[in-house]
Structure 1
Amino acid sequence: MSLPLLTAVTPRFEAELVTKLGSSRSVHVVRRCADLAELLGAAAAGVGRVAVVSAELRGLERSAIRELHERDLLVLGVHRPGDEPGERMLRRWSVPVVVPADADQAQLDAALAELLDAGHAPDDATADHTTADHTTGDQDVREAADEVTTPHTAAPGDGARGRPERTPSRSQEGPDAEGRVVAVWGPVGAPGRSTVAVNLAAELAEPGQPVILADLDTYGASVAQLLAVLDEAPGVAAAARAADQGNLNPAVLSTMAPEVAPGLRVLTGMPRPDRWTELREHALADVLAACVQSVPLTVLDTGFCLEADEELSFDTAAPRRNGATLAALEAADEVVVVGAADPVSLQRLVRGLDQLAEVTDARTTVAVNRLRAGAVGRDPTRRVREALERFAGVTDVVLVADDQSGVDAAVLAGQTLREARPSSPARAGLRELATRVSGRVLTPPRGGRLARRTGSI
């Protein structure tokens, strides 16, 4: 059986390479794609089973290779003769078999035999396919491999060359093997997600318990402004680019996440909302994987929108503006849901909890921010608890007192409440939230006992 093959190769080598591929009994060329977008569109349509890409293809990056793998395509890489950096780049991007573009017929047949003998894409890229799809696809590949004219005997481990080792899950390694991820999310309406995320991370950060705070809000990133960090080169974008290039590791990540307080590192967000396309989901998944390898806890400040329908507007695989938030929630071990203590915000919180349940099954902790009597009446603690229990079934909620002057002073100084206003009444709720998230006893606060006014506002 001959498998359908797609090509996306730079014009200089395309004609000769396609002629040689056409002479192979294991594959037949069904489409010569002019660019990466056409290749991804054809892959999404199920036109091919094998893809040939060149290292010089405009726009090619690791996420595109992973998308081809997720479509269950086998990927053969080609590079200019003598282009060792191009060869290394393709292998870093998990292309298992790479050949020079001027390879003769025997070399090309041997490379196809090696690719087909492996029989599947890298292990970490096939999770979304059903067992039936794999069974049919693998059978086709095995039949095609048997018909290759020039047999190829792979050396031990040769078939897996260039594949990343799969990272064991937390359940396989034990609860303390990797860091945890906490996503801070809240519905539309600015309930104080970023303020809670920044101060939650600050309460948890210690020199011996470092924390990474990453700003993944693609609508209104503000962590850099809250902490007075220069963000001319946003850290999260730099980390995503390094991930796409296959260069991201904990050491590289540390250079992109400056330490703004003892134990607290920050990956700043996009300074302009129109740059959201730089935060691709595949790359962010790699960034978060590097975070959990680097620190015990990663706190993510996310956007409000959970819609995932951008693909309806495109004929091919489309970037998703909300992909960063959805990727964060998918990676999260726990989600802190932030709502504000006023009638409109509480209604949005109730509806938001229903939406959130559709996209993640992670444990959630509800935090109601800006608790004050002026917004909900006398005894705001009781009123908020009763409202959430009645309309959302939430019986356990963390309340954060309103301290607008304290928050204003902290933002003006580019500091956290822990630094600027250690006796702020808001810190009592934030520290309770931090204790629940971390499961450990926090160090006593600097500046004396925290004021607790949430029950008598």
Structure 2
Amino acid sequence: MSTGVLLALSGAAESDLLSRIEARPDLTVVRRCADLTELVAAAVAGLGTVAVLDADDPVDRRLVARLHAAGASAVVLCEEGEQDAYADMGAMAVARGTDPLPAVEALAAGLASRPVPDTVPDVPDGLAPQAHDGVPSPARGPARLVVLTGAAGAPGRTTLAVALADELAAAGGQVVLIDADLWGGSVAQTLGLVADTAGLSAAIRAADKGVLDDAALSRLLVPVSDRLRVLTGLARASRWREVGPESLEAVLTRARAGADWLVVEAPVLVPEDEPGFDLGPCRNAVAHTLLAEADELVVVGAAEPIGLERLVQTLLDLDDVPGLPARRTVVNRLRLSAAGPHPDLSVAEALHRFAGVGEPVLIPDDRALADRALLTASTWRSAGPMSPARLAVRDLARRLTDEAGEPAADAGRRRARREARGLRRRRRTAD
């Protein structure tokens, strides 16, 4: 069976490759594309499974990922010094002056469907093999990824993300805090950081081009303390399309390599657009990427009637997302005036009854602390070290740190025992 090949080249390179492919019974050029837009459209239409393009066109990680999503592997003709960058994007990089036909043959034979080791046999000199499924191949670093999401509205996701990252840093870890809330990122404002550009956007652009190395990421991270650095978020929600999920994975991989903890505020899940012919990422692509990558998932809600209703709905929505890690439910702003005379029991009972939550983490309401920290651009640990709210976040950080050193099975059993004890204690109190 003949393999369809899509060409987006020009000049002698295209005519030479075209003539030699036409002489092959197992390869067929099904479309000579005028530009990359036509190339992607042809791949989406299923016309070909190997795409050959030139680095003189704006080839980036997102384009390669779109081709992969459409079932097409990419061969990129580039300068010899650019091969590693395009290979990191997930393409088969071919140095100019090197015959690209062996790369086309290798992809047509199914080489791209298997994990590619550092040295691939039978791949001619001058070729850089693509990464498996378009995902960068470097090994992950030691960092554990903690993702904070939650209900719509303003239950305090950013405040808790900042406080938790600071507590993990105070416990001795090197921490990177990433503001990936596409709809309302405010980590920079919370900490009083002034940046010339949105760090996340710049990191994504570098990842798109395959030039995000340790030095480039380090320049984008804003230091808050010796152990805490921040990658600031988008300036406007209208720029959400700039953050592609495949490039975000590359940013996470790079950030993990230089930290012990990676704390990320994720965007809340929002309604998707109506299905249509859209070649870009969907609205929830970044959120789903973060949820799938998380080692620890923290779901934040507010201890208020409307806040709890929204939290329960969010937890039920997350139940429909496959492959999530065990989650921790954090209820913020716990107070008598909003949840009754026994707010801890009322909130815990409601979450257990309607969402099956065993033992939520309860954060007492301390408006004075929150206001003081915001006005002074400081963390809860600095603004009110003895506040019950701060101590609750500190205990959560200690729990995460303790469990990070345990085997996953032991940590899961300990968490289950703790939730069972908490449930029995609340029932005895209620009786």
Same fold (TM > 0.5): yes
1:30-429 counterparts in 2 under 5 A? 30-58=30-58, 60-79=59-78, 83-85=79-81, 89-100=85-96, 107-116=99-108, 119-121=111-113, 123=115, 161-164=128-131, 178-206=142-170, 208-307=172-271, 309-310=272-273, 312-313=275-276, 315-359=277-321, 360-429=323-392
Residue 439 in 1 paired to residue 365 in 2? Answer: no
Q: Distance in 1 between matches of 2:128 and 2:110?
A: 10
**Percent identical:** 37
The 8 Å contact of residues 181 and 267 in structure 2, kept in 1 or not, is answered as: yes
List per-residue Cα deviations over 1:151-203 (Å, max 9, x = no partner).
Answer: xx965785983344875988xxxxxx621111011111111111111101111
Aligned to 2:408: none
List per-residue Cα deviations over 1:99-121 (Å, max 9, x = no partner).
Answer: 53x87xxx454453454456324
Aligned to 1:139: none
Aligned to 2:414: none
What amino acid is aligned across from residue 112 of structure 1 in structure 2? V
SS in 2 for 1:422: coil
Aligned to 2:423: none
Residue 430 in 1 paired to residue 429 in 2? Answer: no
Q: Distance in 2 between matches of 1:96 and 1:250?
A: 23
What amino acid is aligned across from residue 278 of structure 1 in structure 2? E
Aligned-pair CA distance for 1:283: 0.4
Q: Distance in 2 between matches of 1:283 and 1:20?
A: 35
The 3 A distance-change label for structure 1 pair 202 and 407 is: same
Q: Distance in 1 between matches of 2:333 and 2:12?
A: 62
Aligned to 1:444: none
Q: Distance in 2 between matches of 1:387 and 1:417?
A: 28
SS in 2 for 1:5: strand
Aligned-pair CA distance for 1:375: 1.1
What amino acid is aligned across from residue 53 of structure 2 in structure 1? V
Query: Normalising to structure 1: TM-score of the pair?
Result: 0.78
Q: Distance in 2 between matches of 1:381 and 1:349?
A: 16
What amino acid is aligned across from residue 329 of structure 1 in structure 2? L
What amino acid is aligned across from residue 180 of structure 1 in structure 2? R
List per-residue Cα deviations over 1:40-80 (Å, max 9, x = no partner).
Answer: 2322232212111111223x20232233234442322224x
User: Which deviates further from its counterpart, 248-257 or 334-343?
Assistant: 248-257
Aligned-pair CA distance for 1:411: 0.9
Q: Distance in 2 between matches of 1:154 and 1:431?
A: 52
Q: Distance in 2 between matches of 1:241 and 1:10?
A: 26
Aligned-pair CA distance for 1:97: 4.6
Q: Distance in 2 between matches of 1:8 and 1:26?
A: 20
- Structure 2 unmatched ranges of 5 or more: 405-425, 427-431
Q: Distance in 2 between matches of 1:291 and 1:345?
A: 33
The 8 Å contact of residues 96 and 159 in structure 1, kept in 2 or not, is answered as: no
The 8 Å contact of residues 73 and 112 in structure 2, kept in 1 or not, is answered as: yes
The 3 A distance-change label for structure 1 pair 375 and 402 is: same
The 8 Å contact of residues 90 and 98 in structure 1, kept in 2 or not, is answered as: no
The 3 A distance-change label for structure 1 pair 84 and 108 is: closer
Q: Distance in 2 between matches of 1:123 and 1:339?
A: 41
SS in 2 for 1:385: helix
Q: Distance in 2 between matches of 1:378 and 1:306?
A: 34
Query: Normalising to structure 2: TM-score of the pair?
Result: 0.83
The 8 Å contact of residues 192 and 338 in structure 1, kept in 2 or not, is answered as: yes
Aligned-pair CA distance for 1:242: 1.9
The 8 Å contact of residues 88 and 137 in structure 2, kept in 1 or not, is answered as: no
User: Which deviates further from its counterpart, 159-168 or 343-352?
Assistant: 159-168
Aligned-pair CA distance for 1:351: 1.1
SS in 1 for 2:257: helix
The 8 Å contact of residues 46 and 71 in structure 2, kept in 1 or not, is answered as: no
List per-residue Cα deviations over 1:406-450 (Å, max 9, x = no partner).
Answer: 111111111111112222231122112212222279xxxxxxxxx
SS in 1 for 2:112: coil
Q: Distance in 2 between matches of 1:380 and 1:10?
A: 69
Q: What is the RMSD of the two structures over their aligned residues, measured on CA atoms?
A: 3.0
The 8 Å contact of residues 306 and 355 in structure 1, kept in 2 or not, is answered as: no
List per-residue Cα deviations over 1:359-409 (Å, max 9, x = no partner).
Answer: 242111111101111112212112111211222221201111111121111
Q: Distance in 2 between matches of 1:78 and 1:350?
A: 51
